[in-house]
């Protein structure tokens, strides 16, 4: 098995920083559900993965995988390195306990999401990938999308909240992932990208949408902070 995630960066990152950030960012990204204790990744009392001692060099950190509930057998490694303008994370030789189809459908998307968000947190939000649109344009874009979703839900003949939420989630997730913009973004000439300028993944888009209500309540861009996304003009 070989799994890779990468983000662009304009700075060199040391192996020690990559190690230290992973130890702390895992807890932040999982809202405290998972954390590193020594060389073990745990959810509460359950040891999901047990690593060997991390091997840290000037520009990378490498954790050998030794066991844990999620591992079918010892072997493989998780490596993160800073190389040629990229932060690159690879999972190689890992043997999950569950069958490959189950791993691909259930665990792999979570791995990609958490690893990508970790790499982007290490990269940081600066430099921004493009000019930031004015707040009135963002409000206009959101208004167009709300009207679009409500209109299409009404056309189905049943005005159920559950149906509306599912439709809105699918509409935003597909538009952000495939085109980088919804109809509102087309009208106001703005798009949503990851902090390194790359397109959002589907899981990033779904996470961003799920956090929108929290951002509205707090009036803070929590959805962009956690999903490591940003809105740019163009």
What is the mean predicted confidence (pLDDT) over 45-65? 97
Bridge partners, 8 (sequence order): 86
Task: State the burial class of residue 123 (Cβ atoms within 10 Å of its Cβ: 0-12, 13-18, 19+).
Answer: buried
62 shares a domain with 22: yes
161 shares a domain with 84: no
Per-residue pLDDT tens over the stretch 133-164:
999 999 999 999 999 888 887 877 666 778 78
Rounded mean pLDDT of the chain?
93
Start-to-end CA span in the chain (Å):
39
Residue 128 falls inside a structural domain? no
Domain that holds residue 104: 2-123
Neighbours of 145 (CB within 10 A): 19
- Kindly report the pTM of this predicted structure: 0.91
100 shares a domain with 15: yes
* Contacts (Cβ under 8 Å, ≥6 apart) of 134: none
Bridge partners, 87 (sequence order): 7, 82
Give the domain-ending residue among 99, 123, 147. Answer: 123
Per-residue pLDDT tens over the stretch 182-229:
999 999 999 999 999 999 999 999 999 999 999 989 989 999 999 999
Give the Cα separation of 10 and 107 in Å (integer). Answer: 30
What is the mean predicted confidence (pLDDT) over 77-86? 96
Rounded percentage of the chain residues whose pLDDT exceeds 90: 86
């Amino acid at each position: 098995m070989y799994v890779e995630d990468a983000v662009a960066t304009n700075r060199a990152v040391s192996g020690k920083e990559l190690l230290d950030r992973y130890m702390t960012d895992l807890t932040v990204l999982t809202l405290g559900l998972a954390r590193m204790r020594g060389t073990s990744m745990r959810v509460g009392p359950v040891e999901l993965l047990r690593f060997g001692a991390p091997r840290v060099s000037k520009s990378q950190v490498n954790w050998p995988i030794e066991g844990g509930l999620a591992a079918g057998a010892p072997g493989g490694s998780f490596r993160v390195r800073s190389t040629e303008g990229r932060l690159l994370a690879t999972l190689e030789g890992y043997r999950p306990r569950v069958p490959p189809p189950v791993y691909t459908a259930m665990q792999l998307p979570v791995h990609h999401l958490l690893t990508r968000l970790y790499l982007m947190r290490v990269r940081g939000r600066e430099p921004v990938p493009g000019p930031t649109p004015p707040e009135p344009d963002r409000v206009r874009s959101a208004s167009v999308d709300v009207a679009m979703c409500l209109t299409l839900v009404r056309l189905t003949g049943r005005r159920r909240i559950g149906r509306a939420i599912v439709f809105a989630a699918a509409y935003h997730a597909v538009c952000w992932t495939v085109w980088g913009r919804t109809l509102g973004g087309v009208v106001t000439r703005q798009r949503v990208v990851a902090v390194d300028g790359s397109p959002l993944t589907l899981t990033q888009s779904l996470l961003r949408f799920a956090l929108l209500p929290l951002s509205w309540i707090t009036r803070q861009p929590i959805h962009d902070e956690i999903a490591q996304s940003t809105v740019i003009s163009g």
